[in-house]
Amino acid sequence: MKSLILPAVLAVCVIFSSCSRYQINLISSTNTTKEEDTGIFNFENDSVKISYSFYGPNAPVSIKVYNKLDKPIYVDWQRSALIIGDKAISYTPGKIDISGTIDARTDNYNYGNRGLIFSNPSYTTGQINAVANLPKDLSFLPPHTQSTNTSLVLTKAFLDIPQEQFTQEVLDYKDNYLYKQISIKAATFDKANTPLLFKSYLTLYMVNGTEAHPVAYSQEFFVSKTYTTIDNPKNLLLFKNERGDYFFNKKATKYQGVVGGITVGAIAVAGLAIYTSGNSGK
């Protein structure tokens, strides 16, 4: 019986792990320089070097600021923002949710003619849910040091792209010892028709003696190519390295639910057949 059930269970695991769809998005920039080896975007002048990476699920926005000066600077994350369309999202949340459990003991006493008299303690339990305001977040950078902020993601969903914009492309695929070429859907964009255009706005303070002067920097990015596939991006040689110029999203397909239901039903039937067969032999 065990030898029949185990392969069926393994089949469910394989089917559920393979029935997902991925959207892989490549990013370009209009005013930064990209490192071809790493895909990291850089803006640099005599004062600072600002680097961006978007690698990972949902495009985590990783910003590294390096102080090139011989005097300190400040990065004001509260006055810096990710801008998508007309919406600005601060790199530092203004509020934070607080939740937890309270367990407290209160000791009661009275002062009388005989001195201090203690009575039975009381106990309190409960839940706390609150919102706390956070102070403005500044990063202090001494000369020739750096600070990194990864507090936001670009998107948690697939970008909405019409199917007629996709064409077929052939990419190299490798999974363990299996090497082959597969055909997947791809769509190419420029700044004018991209499904996602965004900016990063940073506010820095340059310290000069006892004064700090604000300086703003704005970098612009857009999705320049999108792939959709049911194959894990890590098995595509084009995306083998964790580069900063692409990100991916994942979602379950409708096919997964249908096949999963059929497979579970098949296991139930198989289990019933095994049970019936076992009883008939008694």
- Tell me the average pLDDT of the chain: 80
The confidence band for 1, taking pLDDT boundaries of 50, 70 and 90, is: low
| pLDDT tens sequence across 105-160 | 555 555 455 554 556 666 666 665 555 444 458 899 999 999 999 989 999 999 99
| pLDDT tens sequence across 93-105 | 655 444 555 555 5
Entry pTM: 0.71
| CA 187 to centroid of chain Cα atoms | 23
Looking at residue 56, the DSSP 8-state letter turns out to be S
Beta-carbon contacts of 57 under 8 Å, excluding residues fewer than 6 positions away, are 247, 248, 249, 250
Instruction: Report the C-alpha gap between 4 and 1 in whole angstroms.
Output: 5
| pLDDT tens sequence across 9-34 | 444 444 444 578 999 999 999 999 99
